[in-house]
Structure formats: C-alpha cells, structure tokens
C-alpha cells in the first residue's frame, strides 16, 4: 500500500503525545490476536496509517479515535482498487476492530464510531480459493521425503504428516513443542490457535509413525517439535518459522513434480476428506478450530462428484405401469 490520500491532513490524525499501551486501541486489538496473526495485522494497520497520513504515521502514532467516516470510506475505496476483495475485507475488519477498542476505551464517541465503521465489505465474486491435494500428490510428496535418508528428510516428512493428518495451520504447526505431542495416542495440543483458542487434534496411525520416526532422530529433549537441521545434517533445537515451512513445502513440491499448493490446501484437503467420509460437520469444525460451521463449510472442496454421489442415496418410490407404446 504505497498510495496516500491527498486530502487527509497528517497533523490532525497524529497523536499529540505517546499513549500508554493499555490505552492504545491498536495495541489493545493486537493483544487479542494469536502470536502468529499479529505481524500481518500490525503490518495492515501500519499501511492504513501511512495511507491516511502521507506516510508520516504508523499504527502506534496514528490517532485512531480521530478517524471519521470520510477516512474509513476513503481507505476502503483506495484498497478495493488495488487489492483482492478477501484481503481488503480482512484489513477493513482489523480497522473496525481497532475503532471498537477506541470506543471501549472511551476515547471515541459512539456516534462517530457507528458512522466510521458503517462501510460495507467488498463483494467477493471470484471462485473459492485453494484446492484439494489428490491422494497421488500426497503420496508423491511423502515419498520424496522418505527417499531422503537425512534428518531433513525425516523432519520434512513429519511436517507433511502433521499438516495433512491433523489439519493444523502452518503457524500452529511451528508453534508446537514436544510436550504438546502425545506419542501414545497421537494427540496434539494446539495452544493459542487462531482467536487465542486451545484445542486438541489427533494424528492418524500412519501419521503417528512418521512423527515418531522423526523423534527417534530429534530426541526427546524439551523444545520445539519441528526444528532446524543445519547443512551438516545436525539437528538444532531452534523453532522453524512459518516462512521456513513454506520454503520446505515449495522445495518438496518441486522435487515431487506436484503443482503449486499451499499449507492451507492441506487444511482444505483435511476438511473435505473428513466430510466426504461422513463425519458430521460439528466434529470437523472442532478439529479445524473454526468458530462456527459456516467457516468449515467454506473449506469444503469436494466438488461435483460428491454431490452426484450424495443424491444416489435418495429413492423415488412407486412403480410405473408399462405403456403399451413401449411394448
């Protein structure tokens, strides 16, 4: 977001003096997010601040309580011209949340708040994003890791097994500690997931074996479950970053000749396959860590064949008498 709003006056929107963090609406909002979500949303808030003040303010120096409808409407207009609807709506959601904190902190008038947040989301007309990985593609990716006898191959296979077998988010996977994994049952404790919520997910037995193989090399000392392997194939108990996992997926995807995919596509595959297997959406929702079943349904990528199979379970009763015309 490099554009600015020419009619905005930077001085009127800048804080006159620093505000304590517990009274700063942007900081209060960011504190409600999971650690994995904060950097992206802080970046979005910084971009809004720069947009409104000709780059003279960031999220911490902008006076959010001074924003009015003319500012929020202008932000929506500029962003919608340049970015995808889903991204714009995500930024607008963060903007509304910060202004709500300003209202709660009693530094913004209720009428000004209601007007400022009264901006509609950008309509999403594109097809659903992402895709489901086929069984053949997953097998190719796993085999690429299995064919690598180094600790890196064992570690990468464990990453794929966790993403594919438990449906956790990439940020949740890298935040796992050894203590979060129960080797006897395959239970994984996801702590402070999206929305700051904890949940328990499980690995299938085939995935449990893969992760156990990695632990036989990693050892059972406390620390991150998934960690670095240096160029000398020495395991370093330093936590992987989400970006490092993305690089690993891209590298293994290229080696396996699998078309572009994301870590989130494993979540889509996980959810779609469980629904296709007849699991009720409430159970899948809890495993995925979604706030409601509508979110889970948006990840469903089962396609037309599933709908065609579903209607085959229905019967139309009765028996027609043969027409003389057909005899």
**What does the pLDDT read at residue 61?**
93
Residues 161, 118 contacting (CB under 8 angstroms): no
Domain ranges in the chain are: 25-117, 135-302
**What does the pLDDT read at residue 8?**
45
**17-40 tens-digit pLDDT:** 888 889 999 999 999 988 878 888
**What does the pLDDT read at residue 2?**
46
* Positions in the chain whose pLDDT score sits under 50: 1-2, 6-8
Residue 322 to residue 311: CA distance in whole angstroms: 26
Look at residues 176, 170, 171, 167 and name the one whose alpha carbon lies nearest to residue 133.
167
CA distances from 255 to 13, 80, 144, 250, 251 (A): 51, 37, 7, 9, 6
**130-143 tens-digit pLDDT:** 788 888 999 999 99
Look at residues 35, 25, 36 and name the one whose alpha carbon lies nearest to residue 94.
25
Is residue 303 classed exposed, middle or buried when 0-12, 13-18 and 19+ CB atoms within 10 A define those classes? exposed
**What does the pLDDT read at residue 126?**
56
- Nearby residues of 228 by Cβ (< 8 Å), 6 or more positions away: 235, 236, 237, 238, 240, 244
**What does the pLDDT read at residue 277?**
77
- Radius of gyration over alpha carbons of the chain, in Å? 25
CATH of segment(s) 135-302: 1.10.443.10
Across the chain, which distance is largest between two alpha carbons, in Å?
A: 93
**What does the pLDDT read at residue 198?**
86
């Amino acid at each position: 977001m490099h554009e600015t709003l020419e009619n905005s006056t930077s001085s009127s929107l800048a804080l006159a003096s620093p505000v304590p963090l517990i009274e700063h609406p942007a900081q209060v909002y960011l504190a409600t997010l999971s650690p994995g979500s904060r950097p992206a949303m802080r970046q979005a808030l910084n971009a809004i601040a720069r947009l409104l003040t000709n780059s003279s303010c960031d999220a911490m120096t902008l006076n959010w309580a001074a924003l009015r409808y003319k500012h929020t409407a202008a932000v929506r207009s500029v962003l919608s011209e340049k970015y995808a609807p889903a991204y714009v709506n995500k930024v607008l959601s963060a903007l509304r949340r910060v202004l709500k904190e300003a209202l709660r902190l009693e530094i913004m008038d209720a009428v000004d708040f209601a007007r400022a947040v009264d901006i509609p989301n950008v309509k999403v007309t594109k097809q659903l994003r992402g895709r489901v990985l086929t069984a053949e593609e997953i097998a190719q990716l796993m085999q690429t890791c299995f064919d690598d006898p180094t600790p890196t191959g064992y570690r990468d296979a464990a990453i794929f097994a966790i993403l594919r077998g438990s449906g956790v988010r990439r940020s949740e996977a890298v935040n796992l500690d050894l203590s979060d994994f129960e080797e006897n049952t395959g239970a994984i404790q996801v702590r402070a997931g999206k929305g700051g919520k904890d949940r328990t997910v499980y690995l299938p037995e085939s995935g449990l074996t893969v992760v156990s193989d990695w632990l036989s090399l990693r050892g059972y000392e406390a620390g991150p479950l998934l960690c670095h392997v240096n160029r000398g194939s020495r395991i370093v108990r330093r936590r992987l970053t989400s970006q490092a996992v993305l690089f690993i997926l891209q590298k293994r995807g290229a080696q396996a000749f699998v078309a572009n995919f994301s870590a989130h596509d494993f979540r889509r595959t996980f959810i779609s396959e469980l629904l296709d297997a007849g699991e009720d959406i409430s159970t899948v929702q809890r495993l995925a860590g979604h706030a409601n079943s509508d979110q889970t349904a948006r990840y469903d990528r089962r396609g037309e064949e599933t709908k065609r199979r579903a209607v085959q379970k229905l019967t139309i009763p009765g028996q027609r008498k043969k027409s003389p015309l057909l005899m």
